[in-house]
């Protein structure tokens, strides 16, 4: 099936004259998968509609926040209500209290919280706080885990174990990443060795407990628990980056699912109901180091703005219903099991990792435990699959490194369409 994209093609051509690469975030350009990005005009339920009026079944959900689907009436009405009284004040508002209470009630590890404007701001601030609280400088992160585009996170591991990183983007000073150590996800032995090598120097370990930006990779049984033990033993903080997983894989986040309690947690995506927002929170004694209560400075003119707070409140109140997560879990398993069964039937190389409404698809037979396991073949095959699905009006993330996100609006018959399409794809590949 060949879909039309005349208007999108023209808009993309115009956009490239106005913005770098024609986009405001690189993955939107479709450079990774090939082709022209579709300019979206509207969303409704499980669907997005482009400027050429193509109707796609959406598995990006605005990269995660739209867990209730597009144009949710309750969320939309809450936004309409708040903008009747203004859009921004730069002062405290009642809605900040309400959203904070909803988050603290849901996430056991959070006693106090600070709202910011993005996931990047949240992780930057959490790392600064960890350094200020511990009096140490070094940070451990893991290759393939995405924590935003702050300088300290844009680094690659050095050539040896637990060596200092190299900048992975021009504009990032070596001096900034000299305090960052990048290790392999799911390799607890490397972390143990790093703590031995840099004794009493590591402020924190930051990790996506379930990854979303090298697609979905599950932690090994000993990995997350091992991080908790090592941080406790060495008086370092464990930071869970739950910008993607928070309120998505479970009401209390990945930490509830994995039964591991971090010292600090970063949040975003879902807590804004589709509007820009981020947050970080943790134990009271740690959060008390944040200004104006403590010495660690962090501020934001538009932090806690009433529109994002209102959308977040409307979203999280709906997520208190247990039926939401039971549906998401069931429908995610239905999709992942279906893809696995079809791939086995047709001997098509496919690994599917699923965690309640987050799904990772790897077009390979190889075991996937870390970033290094994602091969070029895996990526090339995903790109081919992506184009096939797009031509059949199914919108998967335009990068093999991104997770699929499901919304409550996705039903069994929608999944059946995906599975039928995948079956046809496998048959065509055979032939």
* Residue corresponding to tokens 């699959």: 385
Q: Is 161 helix (H, G, I), strand (E, B) or coil?
A: coil
Distance between CA atoms of 63 and 405, rounded to whole angstroms? 7
Residue positions annotated with a catalytic role: 146, 241, 269
Both tokens of 56, joined, read 């796609």
Distance between CA atoms of 312 and 426, rounded to whole angstroms? 40
Closest CA to 152 of 170, 175, 130: 175
Distance between CA atoms of 180 and 399, rounded to whole angstroms? 26
Q: How far is CA 391 from CA 41, 51, 208, in A?
A: 18, 16, 32
DSSP conformation letters of 287-355: HTTBTTTSSB----TTTT-HHHHHHHHHHHHHTTSHHHHHHHHHHHHHHHHHHHHHHHHTT---EEEEE
Distance between CA atoms of 245 and 237, rounded to whole angstroms? 19
Strand partners, 351: 362
Closest CA to 78 of 248, 308, 268, 269: 308
Distance between CA atoms of 195 and 209, rounded to whole angstroms? 19
- Under 8 Å between Cβ of 356 and 249: yes
- Under 8 Å between Cβ of 247 and 67: yes
């Amino acid at each position: 099936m060949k879909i039309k994209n005349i208007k999108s093609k023209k808009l993309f051509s115009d956009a490239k004259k106005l913005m770098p690469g024609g986009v405001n975030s690189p993955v939107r350009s479709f450079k990774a998968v090939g082709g022209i990005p579709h300019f979206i005009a509207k969303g409704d339920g499980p669907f997005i509609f482009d400027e050429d009026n193509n109707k796609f079944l959406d598995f990006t959900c605005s990269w995660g926040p739209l867990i209730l689907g597009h144009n949710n009436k309750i969320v939309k009405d809450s936004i309409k209500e708040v903008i009747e009284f203004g859009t921004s004040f730069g002062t405290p508002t009642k809605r900040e209290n309400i959203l904070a209470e909803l988050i603290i009630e849901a996430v056991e590890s959070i006693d106090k919280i600070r709202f910011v404007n993005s996931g990047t701001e949240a992780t930057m601030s959490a790392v600064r706080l960890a350094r200020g609280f511990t009096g140490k400088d070094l940070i451990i992160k893991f290759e393939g885990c995405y924590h935003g585009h702050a300088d300290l996170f844009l680094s690659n591991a050095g050539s040896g174990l637990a060596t200092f990183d190299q900048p992975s983007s021009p504009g990032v000073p070596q001096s900034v990443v000299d305090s960052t150590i990048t290790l392999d996800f799911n390799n607890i032995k490397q972390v143990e060795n790093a703590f031995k090598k840099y004794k009493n120097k590591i402020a924190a370990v930051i990790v996506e407990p379930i990854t979303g930006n090298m697609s979905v990779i599950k932690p090994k049984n000993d990995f997350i628990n091992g991080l908790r033990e090592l941080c406790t033993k060495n008086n370092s903080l464990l930071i869970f980056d739950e910008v993607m997983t928070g309120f998505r894989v479970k009401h209390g986040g990945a930490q509830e699912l994995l039964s591991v309690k971090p010292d600090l947690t970063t949040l975003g995506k879902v807590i804004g109901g589709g509007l820009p927002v981020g947050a970080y929170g943790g134990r009271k004694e740690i959060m008390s180091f944040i200004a104006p209560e403590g010495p660690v400075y962090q501020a934001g003119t538009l932090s806690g703005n009433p529109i994002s707070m209102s959308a977040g409140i409307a979203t999280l109140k709906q997520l208190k219903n247990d039926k939401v997560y039971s549906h998401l879990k069931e429908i995610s398993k239905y999709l992942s099991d279906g893809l696995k069964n079809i791939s086995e039937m047709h001997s098509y190389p496919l690994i599917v990792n699923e965690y309640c409404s987050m799904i990772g698809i790897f077009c390979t037979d190889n075991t996937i435990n870390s970033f290094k396991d994602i091969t070029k073949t895996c990526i090339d095959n995903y790109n081919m699959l992506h184009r096939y699905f797009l031509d059949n009006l199914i919108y998967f993330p335009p990068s093999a490194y991104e997770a699929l996100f499901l919304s409550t609006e996705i039903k069994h018959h929608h999944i059946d369409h995906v599975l039928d399409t995948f079956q046809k794809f496998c048959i065509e590949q055979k032939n």
